[in-house]
Amino acid sequence: MGKYRLYVDESGDHRYGRREVVVSKLSFKEKVIEIPFDEYANLEDDRKRYLCLTGCIIESAYYEQTFSPEMEKLKKRHFSYDPDDPLIFHREDIVNKRGPFYRLRDKEKETAFNADLLEFLGAMDYRIINVVIDKKKHVENYGKEAYHPYHYCLTAMLERYCGLLSVRRVRGDVLAESRGGKEDERLKEAYRQTWNGGSDWHKKTHFQNVLTSKEIKLKKKEHNIAGLQLADLLSHPLKMQSLEKRGLIPLQKDFGSVIAIVVDCKFNRRLLTGQADGYGRVFL
């Protein structure tokens, strides 16, 4: 039996509420006030309204022998490489050409890197489960009973991931990017609840029969986890593609839209029909 791992990263704001900074007239010190989640005026902003979770499923032996080494080769080909201070692919830094990605300010170097990145994304063997939630609609429908958006997306992703593992008769675990502190603890608890109690659609055995651990694994960006970097590179483009397909945003004409086209064949799909909607593409 092969072993698989689901690498998870996000795009968008995972909160319902917002923070405001108020300056005290007496002390002139900043005081942070958390606005209740059901006061969601900020969710009118599309940049905060939609949260996307992207999961990339990779077989463990292939990951160690091929996927991770090939990503490191891609880095060495285009950027300065120090094994003691590894380069981390982070979409925002790449797009804004910050830090070690300043080389991409040279148009020829950017064109060459983009071509090699697309070839890498198309050639590697992995499967994608992409979950997008409309937080505004969700909180309008359920009010204070609304699930935490990140946890809701994670549960929907786990349902499909475990379904894939069951069909393939294999087992796997889950690794997500650490967000630190209380958020990590809440994420761990959400995973445990699914493991121990199942979901609205599946009994706990659906998860326990194929997941190798009752705990979710968490790592930070600086740990240079290739699978998390893949999820980071894909999450924003796939979120925009999902919104575009539903007519929620205008047609995108950027490099992210090209990435979304290249990885379209990687989505988790229904075995008999090849259907991606509801299996690899999920909109809540």
**Portion of the chain with pLDDT greater than 70, in percent:** 89
The C-alpha atoms of residue 110 and residue 94 are separated, in whole angstroms, by: 10
DSSP-H helix ranges across 12-95:
46-49, 60-62, 68-78, 91-95
Range of the domain at 183: 3-283
User: Is the pLDDT confidence value at 151 over 50?
Assistant: yes
Average pLDDT over residues 56-85: 95
Give the total number of structural domains in the chain: 1
Positive or negative CA dihedral for 152, 131, 179, 192? Answer: positive
- Find the radius of gyration of the CA atoms of the chain: 20
HSE-up of residue 127 (Cα within 13 Å, Cβ side):
21
The whole-model pTM stands at: 0.88
Over the stretch 16-34, which tens digit does the pLDDT of each residue have? 654 433 333 444 444 444 4
Average pLDDT over residues 199-203: 94
Q: Which helix (H) or strand (E) holds 20?
A: strand 19-23
Tokens (6 digits) for 282? 């999920």
**Alpha-carbon 258 to chain mean position:** 18
Q: In which band, very low, low, confident or very high, does the pLDDT at 42 lie, cut at 50, 70 and 90?
A: low
Residue 198: strand, helix, or coil: coil
One-letter identity of residue 3 = K
Tokens (6 digits) for 43? 């969710």
Average pLDDT over residues 166-190: 91
- Token pair 């990779």 in the structure block, residue: 58
